[in-house]
Amino acid sequence: MNSALLPAMILVPFVGAGLVALIPARRAELFRPVALLTSIVVLGMAVFMLVNFTVGDAGYQFETSTTWIKDLGISLHFGVDGISLFLVVLAAGIFPIALLGSTPSHDPKPYYGWLLVLLAGSIGVFCALDLVVFFVFFEIVLVPMYFLIGLWGHGRRVYAATKFFLYTMFGSALMLVGLVALAVLHQKAVGGPLTFDLVTLAREQALSTTASRWIFVAFAVAFAVKVPLFPLHTWLPDAHTEAPTAGSVLLAAVMLKLGTYGFVRFGLDLFPEASVWAAPVMLTLGVVGIVYGAICATMQKDLKRLVAYSSVAHLGFIVLGIFSITTQGIEGGILQMVNHGITTGALFLLVGMVYERRHTREISALSGLQSSAPVMAGVFTLVMLASIGLPGLNGFVGEFLALLGAFKGARWWGVVAVTGVILAALYLLWAYQRVFHGKAEGENAKMRDLTWSEGAVLAPLLFLIVFLGIYPKVMLDRIEPSVKALVVHVDRNVEDFDGRDVTPKVAPAAAGADEGGEG
Amino acid sequence: MGGMVIPSIEFTSVAPSIILALAGILLLTVVSVTKDRLPAWFSAVWTISASVAALAAVVRLWARVGEWGALSLVGGAVGLDRFSLFVIGTLCVSVLVGALLLEGYLRREQLESPEWYVLLLLAAAGGTTMAAANDLIVLFIGLEILSISVYVLAAMHRRRLSSLESGLKYFIHGAFASAFLLYGIAMVYGATGSTNLVRIQVFLADNVITQNGLMLGGIALMLVGFAFKVAAVPFHQWAPDVYQGAPTPVSAFMAAAVKTAAFAGMIRVFVLALGPTYRDEWRPMVLAIAVLSLLVGSVMALVQTNVKRMLAYSSIGHAGFILVAVHSSTAMGTSAALFYLLSYTFMVMGSFGVVEVVGRTGDGHHQLDDYKGLGRTRPGLALVFSIFLLAQAGVPLTAGFLSKFYVIRSAIDSGDTALGVVAMLAAVVAAFLYLRVIVAMYFEGDERDEVAPVRLPAAVSVALGIALAGTLLLGIVPDPVTQAANDATAELVPSRR
């Protein structure tokens, strides 16, 4: 039961941050290696976890639990299952890349210190199995990101950072009330000590329908801000655009997943009935996000803002998949969470590289880069096609499964969502055409191509884009048991669940994997 | 018969109050006898030792109450329970930190004189008397000792006009508050025939009052008196002016200790004595001032440009939070209030400590603009201030998060979920104000803007260290303190005689 792996993964970055804080500012050359080494150690542990993960086990693995605050019944309970495994690995994997991919323009010491704190928080948030501990990490990741955007960002960075902080705080304020209410009402219903343990609360389902619906709404607002769902999304384009490259990459890869992960882990698990009840609204918001994000992305003049809006659309697919409440849909959603992190992370890195060379991200100021930077153009094409969802690349599998789930569980929403796939092709190809095709003049003609070191940073992401596109079974095998258990859990707790055109128990285990594999 | 009966006093049981009061009086005597022959640091060291000694006495008594249960002393006028001990402990912490802040401040402003420390000790002695009062008259005496000392402290910076103004304003407003409270006490006495909290509680349980108007009026007036002292809306108007004008260490002490003592008195009177019988009458009133304080405190703080005023408005918001805990009128609510008060003592004294340092010689640089670029020129100080501010905003792993958590829990437990939502939303609005300061420190200004360098005296850095340790430890390893706050049940025990 007690594995020290997850606590170690959370503690090591804190130790690294402490080291960075202790190194005097004049030894500036030391910060980067220390931060990099720390993140690589964490990645090593994540890989160890991945290798030792028991395939076919739906429950939590590497579990550990220690009492934190006794009289509130809060314990440091950590564990991963198929749903969180790859998100932890993604978080651990993307940090070294983000560190290598960009350097701060000034003040390296706090920069690397905050990044390591963010790493600790990102790992913690995905493996916390106690509501309060989850909330602590959910909130604590705000602080480093706030400083990253505010201190090393571009343009209207202060505005973007403050907006980001306040939007999230607003959501989490409601969630805090919700989770306390959940625990208190649960205690009143079943007696015994107060507990915030996810596993216990989800299993016992002690709340009345009305209460759990209200509390679900409180949680949903917090997660909707994080996803972000229309109309709570406006912080995202600002934060994404003004953040430094590493910040944007981490926002895309880690922070945006908090909302969708929250919906799966805390929404469906804790409030199955309320999730089914709210599904039409969530599906609608997801679809609105897909279409609206795509339309906004089409109209952007700034390349980075375009990528930011594309995230709104991509996350709409994830929400669609999750709230179809089918095995395929949720699997697709989880897969898409990871894949979006990889592809959008790569896109932000590429945009950052363009910006470093040309000091502009205006699409109109860039043109014909293909002639001056052919390798970069090639890499961009691959990543872009993955983002569009071209079969054979990683973006396809998740989107396909999410849509498949939607067609089974919520047909009409699925029909509308498909248009988002087409729109994605429109805005990305059009942007590619304007930036890379055409005639290169002036600065554009002299632009440097990718260097070897930049290529090395992108290489792991490109490998994953192709590998996971061809062979998603590695992931699906590990995700599926947990997702199936979750759908069964929903089915067991919702009376007329079978009444919808969803048949989770009939959907064979291998079906999702095989369909994905063929893609 | 007929003559005045002098109750026997068990001195060991009221040791903390006696240590603080005696230390104040002795200090005054020693210093006036020795004239200027004592070193400048003597008074500060004396005060710190006194607060540590009082704290040690609290720890001893804590164990004793655990063994023997709560006691009623001095003819039933003073109660000894873990609630009062927790409050007294919190007050000792604020004296300790306050003395350290004062030391650095007085040295810089060249105002060194022992009177500051004498008043600090006496104020604390008044506060401890309030916290342990089992009789409305004792409570009132404690309040007056506390208040008069602080009026003078607020006006003690003799070269600054605003300090004098602040003292005068506080005095006039405070006098009104005391009058309200005293009127309320008189009316409650008229309705129940006693000023003793135990007897009031018993009387109200056994009898139905015919003169209910008198009783209700008394409750309302007492509430007004307490609301003045804790700076709750709509009785808060004095707070921003006074906090802004008073010498910064005094503002810190006011925000922490006066609030703590006043809330302790309020809980003793309302939750304990009136809780069982009159809770349905006073809870709506407390609810109203709680909501108003939360909203006005956080919204008004946003439009301030003076950091001391901002902290004053934010302290009004915090008072609203504690009122939410008081409103629940349960043991859980009382524990939540206690935990909040201790956390707030660390957070607010730390914040004012930084404000004191940034205020520079003359205690005049308190505009938001004066904080520009602090993140670059004094990174350590800016980081510490950020932690205090984020803690006040309720960011996890700090004391501020858990104290809000406890308050919300007590509200939900007594069925006031909506109130919990209002409180948390107000906290989000307030977060913006803390961010404004952080923005000024980190994201604005150049090194060229620097007027005078910010100097950090050794004593103040010790104070900041204590406050920081408290803020973080209560957030990361809160168990010992939460246990203590849970055990700190307030009790009204009848006198044995």
Decide: residue A515, CB within 10 A, 0-12 exposed, 13-18 middle, 19+ buried: middle
- Containing A69, the helix (H) or strand (E) segment is strand A61-69
pLDDT band at B1 (very low <50, low <70, confident <90, very high): very low
Contact B341, B485 (CB under 8 A): no
Decide if pLDDT at B110 tops 80. yes
Task: Count the residues in chain B.
Answer: 497
Which member of B390, B427, B442 has the closest CB to residue A173? B427
B443/A165 Cβ within 8 A: no
Of A243 and B468, the one with more pLDDT: B468
Q: How many CB pairs under 8 A join A and B?
A: 86
Q: Which of B294, B417, B434, B472 should be substituted to probe chain A, the one whose Cβ sees the most A Cβ atoms within 10 Å? A: B417
Amino acid occupying residue A414: G
Which residues in chain B are closer than 8 Å to A120, comparing Cβ atoms? none
Which residues in chain B are closer than 8 Å to A110, comparing Cβ atoms? 379
B428/A173 Cβ within 8 A: yes
C-alpha atoms less than 13 angstroms from C-alpha of A99 in its C-beta half-sphere: 26
Contact B463, B100 (CB under 8 A): yes
Which member of A140, A143, A169 has the closest CB to residue B428? A169
Taking residues B47-60, what's their average pLDDT? 94
Q: Which of A180, A214, A219 should be substituted to probe chain B, the one whose Cβ sees the most B Cβ atoms within 10 Å? A: A180
pLDDT of residue A331: 92
pLDDT of residue A519: 34
Which member of B420, B432, B443 has the closest CB to residue A166? B432
Complex prediction ipTM: 0.90
- Helix/strand/coil for B196: strand
Which residues in chain B are closer than 8 Å to A176, comparing Cβ atoms? 404-405, 408, 424
Q: Among candidates B272, B232, B316, B233, which has minimal Cα distance to B131? A: B272
pLDDT of residue A504: 44
For residue A181, the chain B residue with the least C-alpha distance is B412
Range ranked top by mean pLDDT from A19-28, B143-152, B485-494: B143-152
pLDDT of residue A451: 85
A135/B412 Cβ within 8 A: no
Q: Among candidates A49, A183, A175, A32, which has minimal Cα distance to A107? A: A32
For residue A140, the chain B residue with the least C-alpha distance is B396
Nearest-angstrom CA–CA distance, A396 and A386:
7
Decide if pLDDT at B449 tops 60. no
Which member of A70, A139, A162 has the closest CB to residue B435? A162
Alpha-carbon Rg of chain B, whole angstroms? 22
Q: How far is A161 from chain B (nearest CA, A)?
A: 10
Taking residues B58-86, what's their average pLDDT? 86
Which residues in chain A are closer than 8 Å to B443, comparing Cβ atoms? 150-151, 157-158, 161
Decide: residue B35, CB within 10 A, 0-12 exposed, 13-18 middle, 19+ buried: exposed
A162/B428 Cβ within 8 A: no
pLDDT of residue B303: 87
B443/A136 Cβ within 8 A: no
Residues A364-377 as b/e (b if ≥16 CB within 10 A, e otherwise) read eebbbbbbbbeebb
Q: Among candidates B362, B263, B379, B359, which has minimal Cα distance to B307? A: B359
Q: Which of B419, B442, B489 should be substituted to probe chain A, the one whose Cβ sees the most A Cβ atoms within 10 Å? A: B442
B410-432 pLDDT, tens digit each: 999 998 889 999 999 999 998 88
Phi-psi domain of A359 (left: phi exceeds 0; alpha: psi -120 through 50; beta: other): left
Which residues in chain B are closer than 8 Å to A174, comparing Cβ atoms? 421, 424-425
Q: How far is A239 from chain B (nearest CA, A)?
A: 15
B413/A184 Cβ within 8 A: yes
For residue B441, the chain A residue with the least C-alpha distance is A151
Range in A248-262, A495-509, B61-75, B142-156 with the lowest mean pLDDT: A495-509
Decide: residue B5, CB within 10 A, 0-12 exposed, 13-18 middle, 19+ buried: exposed
Which member of B379, B405, B417 has the closest CB to residue A181? B417
Residues B69-108 as b/e (b if ≥16 CB within 10 A, e otherwise) read ebbbbbbbbbbbbbbbbbbbbbbbbbbbbbbbbbbbbbbb
Cα A134 from chain centre: 15
Which residues in chain B are closer than 8 Å to A150, comparing Cβ atoms? 439, 442-443
| pLDDT tens for each residue of chain A, 519 residues long | 578 889 999 999 999 999 988 888 788 888 888 999 999 999 999 999 999 988 888 889 898 999 898 888 899 999 999 899 999 999 999 999 988 888 888 888 888 989 999 999 999 999 999 999 999 999 989 899 999 888 888 888 889 988 998 888 888 899 999 999 999 999 988 888 889 999 888 888 888 888 999 999 999 999 999 888 888 888 888 888 888 888 889 988 888 899 999 999 999 999 999 999 999 999 999 999 999 999 999 998 888 899 999 989 999 999 999 999 888 899 999 999 999 999 999 999 999 888 888 888 888 888 888 888 888 889 989 999 999 888 888 888 888 999 988 888 888 888 888 888 888 888 888 888 888 888 877 777 777 888 888 888 899 999 999 999 889 888 989 999 999 899 888 888 887 775 444 444 444 444 444 444 333
Q: Which residue has the tokens 């062979």?
A: A471
pLDDT of residue A232: 86
- From residue A339, how far is each of A98, A319, A402, A460, B133 by CA, in Å? 16, 14, 13, 13, 65
Which residues in chain B are closer than 8 Å to A142, comparing Cβ atoms? 395
Q: Which of A72, A164, A217 should be substituted to probe chain B, the one whose Cβ sees the most B Cβ atoms within 10 Å? A: A72
The distance between the two most distant Cα atoms of chain A, rounded to a whole number of Å, is 74
Which residues in chain B are closer than 8 Å to A147, comparing Cβ atoms? 442
The domain locations on chain A are 5-515
Amino acid occupying residue A347: L
Contact B21, B119 (CB under 8 A): no
Share of chain B above pLDDT 70, in %: 97
